[in-house]
Amino acid sequence: MNTILTNERGVERVVAGQATQDGAGVKLTRVLTSDLQHRLDPFLMLDAFGTDNPGDYIGGFPDHPHRGFETVTYMIAGRMRHRDSAGHEGLLTNGGVQWMTAGRGVIHSEMPEQEDGRMEGFQLWLNLAAQDKMQPAGYRDIPSTEIPELRLKDATVRVIAGTSQGLAGAMHRERTEPLLLDIHLDAGASFHQPLPAEHNAFVYVYRGSVTIAGRQIDSQRMAILANTPGSDGLVLRAGEAPARALLVAGRPLREPIAQYGPFVMNTREQLMQAVQDFQSGKLAA
Ligand code: FE2
């Protein structure tokens, strides 16, 4: 049953993202870029990758460090092997999620475990509150079969984080209450999701197109949703073809954001400390 909303959120802005490369030459689109980190607090980055050309992904992401936030990798197609300095290892496959808490520090690699075929997915960065940034690193592999799914008449919603229509997702975080849904709509279907007005939220469409408050959002576009006071949630409608989109929302931390590459802290001094710890081998010790 769909919740009835009376004051749906509008679209503040539509973003196309920037084509870029990361790791050892992996081609991707940075959808949530650093200039949007305050607007979409607590989310720091969203990368989308999708290609049938092995040359675009085969280099993978060899050993690199992180500190101060969490990375959430969601694989639509392909196989990616993860290894980190804490001894964790996992294979991310179709429909699975890897939720890594960098905390005080981790050094890891994310490498394709295929030489041909399609590689498609997303990586979302979720910030940690100042008091949580130096917690021990953690890691969870969530295979596709462990992601709860809402089966509606004309839609399927994979609840990766948060809660949708009473169905608890695979992950929860108290401080920022992240919601991460992968929404599959049949042609013409609609889906309602209540959202607190003060939570920042965006929708990334990756198949077909959807309409939000009368505005059409095409594939490979991110809609930043307005935080209109009194608004009670999102209504997503598919066009004449089936559509798939990620809905991402969370409570903002409203803390200073200082980033230097793979380190995201609150101050410049903390960043310098992270670099120093990395260089002296203490980041992930
Ligand atoms: Fe990484």
pLDDT tens sequence across 85-106:
988 999 999 999 999 999 999 9
Whole-angstrom distance, CA of residue 67 vs CA of residue 265: 8
- How many angstroms separate the alpha carbon of residue 102 from the centre of ligand 1? 9
pLDDT tens sequence across 248-276:
999 999 999 999 999 999 999 999 999 99
Does the global pTM surpass 0.85? yes
Chain centroid, CA 252 distance in Å: 15
Q: Are 15 and 205 in contact (CB under 8 A)?
A: no
Residues in the chain: 285
- How many angstroms separate the alpha carbon of residue 45 from the centre of ligand 1? 12
Q: What does the pLDDT read at residue 2?
A: 54
Structure tokens, 39: 């607007």
Residues 6+ apart with CB under 8 A from 284: 65, 84, 85, 86, 105, 106, 107, 137
- How many angstroms separate the alpha carbon of residue 65 from the centre of ligand 1? 7
Percent of the chain with pLDDT over 70: 99
- How many angstroms separate the alpha carbon of residue 77 from the centre of ligand 1? 18
Q: Are 203 and 157 in contact (CB under 8 A)?
A: no
Q: Are 94 and 127 in contact (CB under 8 A)?
A: no
Nearest to 108 by CA among 91, 85, 137: 85
Flag whether pLDDT at 148 surpasses 90: yes
- Burial category of 39 from C-beta neighbours within 10 Å (exposed 0-12, middle 13-18, buried 19 and up): middle
Q: Is CATH 1.10.3720.10 the right assignment for the domain spanning 11-279?
A: no
Instruction: For the chain, give every domain's residue range.
Output: 11-279
